[in-house]
């Protein structure tokens, strides 16, 4: 089997035989999923960054952890065959590529796990490492009225992908990044072993995989902490021309106790011009609204700063959300003025 792979790597005239090679390797590995040629124009040869494009040997679309295990075991027995797990392809420097190697399309496993688990008064969801966060959030809220405590600003990312990095969000100041909101993982190790790990079970692997950039194993299942989803969210964006004021207010908000500040705090930088994607038009939350540049200070530089905050509430909450939001905002603004 290993010699056969070597022949394919070095045989430049093998194009006419690729379909037979794919079929043969698939049968040899006994994959329940599928395997495709690693054409340079395929999904596996590109990523979001667009800086690199390399041709893998094959693109593997596994049906589950068992398929991934077989592929990794094969690669571990060779000296020159590499494997890369690819989520939704949002790396920027080719991290999810494998030139002349095997790329595993994790999105093909996205529907493998979805189990709501009430445990000792807390609630969790077991999901596939290939599931997209946007699907996890939608399904949790619509089916159970719960939501992950921490998620990324952009949700079209895989669970395994962000957990292999950190998963920083606007809720991280309250609950930590996504890696701090996982209690159990199923991982395919570098030897191809399918292992369950947690803080108390195989803990070295657990903490190595979380934020480990995929170097300690491939996440095939994760148990995520949930909290009750709000009925409504009040969302506000505040624009600053001075970086010091922007950071001062952000630091103030994220250091307040739970219940005494906003539930979501995040900041970003945008261009002080009318560029439709990076300038003033990117700021309004409502497409029907327009950013009024006349309010910008004459001393403002080429970039502006935006603080994005959100307040969660339930229908049974009193007083009304507008009153509560305005109260918090006035208090924070007042203290900001005092600190000047």
Q: Cα separation of 58 and 74, whole Å?
A: 13
**CA neighbours closer than 13 Å in the CB half-sphere of residue 172:** 15
Identified catalytic residue from 19, 20, 115, 153: 153
Is 153 annotated in the active site? yes
Whole-angstrom distance, CA of residue 35 vs CA of residue 3:
19
Specify the 3-state DSSP secondary structure of 103: strand
- Between the alpha carbon of residue 285 and those of residues 45, 174, 236, 280, the distances in Å are 35, 23, 8, 12
Is 90 marked active-site?
yes
| Catalytic residue chosen out of the listed positions 21, 36, 67, 90 | 90
For tokens 């995929």, name the residue.
214
Q: Is 289 helix (H, G, I), strand (E, B) or coil?
A: coil
Q: Give, in order, the Cα–Cα distances in Å from 287 to each of 266, 281, 284.
A: 20, 9, 7
Q: How far is CA 14 from CA 6, 11, 82, 177, in A?
A: 12, 6, 20, 47
Instruction: List CB contacts of 232: < 8 A, sequence separation 6 or more.
Output: 312, 313, 314, 315, 321
* 10, burial (CB in 10 Å: exposed 0-12, middle 13-18, buried 19+): exposed
Find the Cα–Cα–Cα–Cα dihedral 27, 28, 33, 39, rounded to 10°.
Answer: -90
Q: Alpha-carbon torsion 213, 217, 220, 224, what sign?
A: negative
Active-site residue, from 36, 105, 184, 266: 266
Look at residues 154, 141, 174 and name the one whose alpha carbon lies nearest to residue 263. 174
Give the integer Cα–Cα distance in Å for 337 and 339. Answer: 5
Catalytic residues: 90, 153, 266
């Amino acid at each position: 089997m290993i010699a056969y792979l070597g022949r394919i790597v070095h045989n430049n005239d093998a194009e006419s035989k690729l379909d037979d090679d794919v079929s043969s390797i698939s049968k040899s590995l006994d994959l329940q999923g599928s395997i495709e040629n690693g054409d340079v124009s395929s999904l596996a040869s590109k990523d979001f960054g667009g800086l690199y494009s390399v041709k893998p040997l094959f693109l593997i679309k596994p049906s589950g952890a068992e398929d991934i295990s077989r592929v990794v075991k094969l690669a571990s027995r060779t000296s020159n065959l590499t494997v890369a797990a690819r989520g939704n392809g949002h790396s920027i420097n080719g991290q999810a590529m494998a030139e002349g190697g095997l790329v595993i399309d994790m999105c093909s496993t996205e529907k493998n796990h979805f189990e709501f688990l009430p445990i000792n008064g807390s609630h969790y969801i077991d999901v596939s490492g290939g599931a997209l966060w946007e699907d996890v959030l939608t399904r949790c809220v619509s089916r159970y009225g719960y939501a992950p405590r921490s998620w990324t600003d952009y949700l079209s990312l895989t669970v395994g992908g962000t957990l292999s990095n950190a998963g920083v969000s606007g809720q991280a100041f309250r609950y930590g990044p996504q890696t701090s909101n996982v209690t159990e993982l199923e991982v395919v190790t570098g030897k191809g072993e399918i292992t369950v790990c947690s803080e108390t079970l195989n803990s070295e692997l657990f903490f190595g995989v979380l934020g480990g950039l995929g170097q300690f194993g491939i996440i095939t299942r994760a148990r995520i902490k949930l909290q009750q989803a709000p009925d409504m969210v009040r969302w506000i964006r505040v624009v600053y021309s001075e970086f010091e004021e922007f950071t001062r207010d952000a630091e103030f908000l994220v250091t307040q106790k739970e219940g005494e500040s906003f539930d979501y705090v995040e900041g970003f930088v945008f261009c002080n011009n009318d560029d439709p994607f990076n300038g003033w038009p990117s700021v309004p939350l409502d497409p029907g609204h327009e950013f009024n540049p006349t309010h910008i200070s004459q001393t403002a530089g080429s970039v502006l700063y935006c603080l994005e905050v959100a307040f969660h509430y339930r229908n049974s909450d009193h007083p009304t959300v507008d009153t509560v939001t305005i109260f918090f905002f006035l208090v924070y603004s007042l203290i900001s003025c005092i600190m000047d």
